Structure 1
Amino acid sequence: MNLTELNALPDRFLDMDAANLHKILPGPTLIHLPGRRQEPLFVSILLHGNEDTGLKAIQSVLRGYQNRELPRALSLFVGNVSAARLGLRRLDGQPDYNRVWPGGEDNSSVEQSIMHQVVESLRSRSPFASIDIHNNTGLNPHYACINRLDQHFFHLATLFSRIVVYFIRPTGVQSAAFATLCPSVTIECGKTDTPGSEEHAAEFINACLHLSDFPVHPIAKHDMDLFHTVVTVKVPENIEFGFGTNHLTLNFNENIDHFNFKELSPGTPFGHCQGNHLPILAIDEGGNDVSESYFMVKGNQIVLRRQSMPAMLTRDERVIRQDCLCYLMERIDPGTTPHQLK
């Protein structure tokens, strides 16, 4: 597998759905389109093959410029075409396309080499900003994620949503790789096919194409709700789990994804389990097991130990196995520095 690099849109690209992109793209593809301003906006889509809002949004934007010049050059990366063919996040045996970018733990896979080529190609073009477009599988509002506590990043993120999440784990993500080159953001557009998601993402892309620069003044505190991802919650591979069940080792609440972006008090139950051993893992930014600091078994219930706000809680068992159950966040002030978070 190699990176394909093009200087024009392939025929039929604007009308092709994600499942059929393999008919016109051989695999991961980087497409450069000229515009009035030379420093390109970089947009990545389909890093997860079952998240197609990014494709629909960029098609919508580009259809509007078929007979006129883009206000800014655009470099578009289309990621996991083979997984998109089957409507999957990734194929069995594939790495996650949003965990193999420079700065991550993967330094040897073919996919990591491709992402390195993408970054180096854009480095030579001095990108203006970077957008990575995703969907998620739980009930979540639209929100933006950043990897630097910086005013330009804040201004870019709040063009999409007042809800902004700062994180440094997981590593190997696109937004962190591009944060070394330009303001970068991941936008989370809710569940696939949610009404309004495609339009919201398209409006954001269009707004970024029209930006000439970023404001120099600090973002107003009342214009942004800023959160810091403190732990990733996972289910160990050897633990059987389900939702709204009673007979498995781990039984989450049936509607657990309703907790997303709600500030939960200590004692809030996540589910129940068999035995007294805590059957979930909470991993902090340093990769440390901090499960006992965030959860405990009380009776047969799994409850929170401290106030937290979940994001990306999902009931999709395949996604949980391939990635995680959720992230836990804490609200922070926009003036906070990374040093103060340690």
Structure 2
Amino acid sequence: MRRFKFVRNPEASELGNNVEEFLDWLGGPTCLLLEGADPSRTRALVTLLHGNEPSGTIALYRWLRSGRTPAINIVCIVASVGAAQESPRFSHRMLPRARDLNRCFRPPFEDAQGELAEEILEILRVHSPEAVVDMHNTSGSGPAFGVCTHMDSQHDALVSLFTQRLIVSNLGLGALMELSEESCPTVTVEVGGRLDDEAHELAYEGLCRYFEAETVLSPEVTDWGLELLCDPIRLELRENVTLTYAEEPCDNYDITLRPDIEHHNFGGVTSDTVLGWARLPERQLFSAQDAGGRCAVTSLVRVAEGKIFPAQALKLFMITNNAAIAHSDCLFYAVLDDGSTICA
């Protein structure tokens, strides 16, 4: 059953007076087909895979209302509209009991989210874009960065339209960007925190460059130097471990993290930085694997006298202060403080 509706060259006047009305106009998963000055080539934008990440939708709405014309054809895929429409708007990552859509881009495509992911893949296959940008917000407040599965000049150029930081990772989670090597250059762009005006503005400015530049796969598009972070490790919670965020340890929880922990996003932390408190040893609370599949928990964190510290000087990113996301996804990603890979 087809879930997407398709709209070609929508009129600015029909999109609503604000992004909430735009959501209602979309009504559900929608593919917008925008004709460019050069119709012989196509790029794709995918956004709102997570319903609580509004910057891509806000940027797309703003661009469509401006009446501008893209340099080439653009396929815009707006996915989790139903989750975004739940009250309060843009607060639900996915609908209750639904899988994370950005973990569904590998078979089997058996449930509703898998079928939606499969339809997105089919849309991209039919239109054969020269590049795909998948736009997200970070779960906590923090600076923007891009993610790709391997490093080359085309992926560098795509990310450089939006940000100066690039994470190179191939964790095999079922994310859309993992299809890059099988199809066309595909990157994830995390424009910053979902509630940050700076993230909305960065998303719009980058989207304008992506839609309107004659070429986006040449490293000469920008002269920014990219900060590279390679093969990060995810720190995850073990099953049935309880977590909260507070200024002091909470007796009813296995782990209490500092509520301002997200301030360490892309900053260096030392082995003396207090991240929070724990009631059990680190191996009983956390799981982590390095690129070779070895347990890397003790390379990331240590518990001493009830406090959680980094095990060594690290750079942390994608830190969340949302317990639900920490349970369903991870607490944070980490590399060594110089940006290199951690080995257990």
Query: Shorter-chain TM-score: what band?
Result: 0.7 to 0.9
Structure 1 counterpart of 2:273, from 265, 268, 291: 268
Task: Measure the CA separation in 2 of the matches of 1:50 and 1:27.
Answer: 15
Alignment-derived partner of residue 242 in structure 1: 244
Shift in alpha-carbon separation, 1:168–1:142, aligned structure 2, 3 A: same
Alignment-derived partner of residue 302 in structure 1: 308
Task: Measure the CA separation in 2 of the matches of 1:193 and 1:298.
Answer: 35
Alignment-derived partner of residue 82 in structure 2: 82
Alignment-derived partner of residue 228 in structure 1: 230
Task: Measure the CA separation in 2 of the matches of 1:33 and 1:272.
Answer: 51
Matches within 5 A, 1:125-140: 125-140=127-142
Match of 2:197, SS?
A: coil
Matched, 1:72 2:72: yes
Matches within 5 A, 1:148-167: 148-167=150-169
- Contact 2:149–2:180 (CA<8 Å) still a contact in 1? no
Match of 1:70, SS?
A: coil
Task: Measure the CA separation in 2 of the matches of 1:72 and 1:257.
Answer: 38
Pick which of 39-48 and 161-170 moved more.
161-170
Task: Measure the CA separation in 1 of the matches of 2:150 and 2:206.
Answer: 20
Alignment-derived partner of residue 191 in structure 1: 193
Task: Measure the CA separation in 1 of the matches of 2:264 and 2:177.
Answer: 26
Alignment-derived partner of residue 258 in structure 1: 263
Shift in alpha-carbon separation, 1:100–1:276, aligned structure 2, 3 A: closer
Amino acid at match of 1:99: R
Matched, 1:95 2:104: no
- Contact 1:234–1:320 (CA<8 Å) still a contact in 2? yes
Task: Measure the CA separation in 2 of the matches of 1:124 and 1:83.
Answer: 26
Pick which of 121-130 and 155-164 moved more.
121-130
Summarize deviations over 1:46-92 as a string: whole Å, max 9, x none: 11111111111011112222xx6432111011111121112200122
Structure 2 counterpart of 1:40, from 30, 37, 42: 42
Shift in alpha-carbon separation, 1:198–1:218, aligned structure 2, 3 A: closer
Shift in alpha-carbon separation, 1:217–1:199, aligned structure 2, 3 A: closer
Pick which of 72-81 and 312-321 moved more.
312-321
- Contact 2:234–2:289 (CA<8 Å) still a contact in 1? yes
Task: Measure the CA separation in 2 of the matches of 1:58 and 1:310.
Answer: 30
Amino acid at match of 1:270: L
Matches within 5 A, 1:19-58: 21=23, 23-38=24-39, 39-58=41-60
Once the 2 structures are TM-superposed, how far is the Cα of residue 216 of structure 1 from its aligned partner?
A: 6.2
Task: Measure the CA separation in 1 of the matches of 2:108 and 2:294.
Answer: 19
Task: Measure the CA separation in 2 of the matches of 1:238 and 1:110.
Answer: 27
- Contact 2:109–2:117 (CA<8 Å) still a contact in 1? no
Alignment-derived partner of residue 110 in structure 1: 112
Task: Measure the CA separation in 1 of the matches of 2:4 and 2:71.
Answer: 25
Task: Measure the CA separation in 2 of the matches of 1:306 and 1:218.
Answer: 37
Task: Measure the CA separation in 2 of the matches of 1:268 and 1:227.
Answer: 21
Alignment-derived partner of residue 215 in structure 1: 218
**TM-score (ref. length: structure 1):** 0.86
Summarize deviations over 1:318-337 as a string: whole Å, max 9, x none: 2212221111134558xx9x
Identity percentage of aligned residues: 23
Task: Measure the CA separation in 2 of the matches of 1:329 and 1:132.
Answer: 23
Once the 2 structures are TM-superposed, how far is the Cα of residue 151 of structure 1 from its aligned partner?
A: 0.9
Summarize deviations over 1:280-305 as a string: whole Å, max 9, x none: 22233466532123222222222222
Structure 1 counterpart of 2:325, from 319, 322, 327: 319
Match of 2:229, SS?
A: strand
Shift in alpha-carbon separation, 1:169–1:105, aligned structure 2, 3 A: farther
Match of 2:141, SS?
A: coil
Shift in alpha-carbon separation, 1:320–1:20, aligned structure 2, 3 A: farther
- Contact 1:260–1:312 (CA<8 Å) still a contact in 2? yes
Matched, 1:282 2:288: yes
Summarize deviations over 1:220-267 as a string: whole Å, max 9, x none: 8x7111112421112223112222232122121232111110122334
- Contact 1:264–1:309 (CA<8 Å) still a contact in 2? yes
Amino acid at match of 1:302: I
- Contact 2:157–2:219 (CA<8 Å) still a contact in 1? no
Shift in alpha-carbon separation, 1:322–1:18, aligned structure 2, 3 A: farther
Paired residues, number: 330
Match of 1:223, SS?
A: coil
RMSD, aligned CA: 2.8
**TM-score (ref. length: structure 2):** 0.85
- Contact 1:119–1:177 (CA<8 Å) still a contact in 2? no
Pick which of 255-264 and 193-202 moved more.
193-202
Task: Measure the CA separation in 2 of the matches of 1:123 and 1:37.
Answer: 20
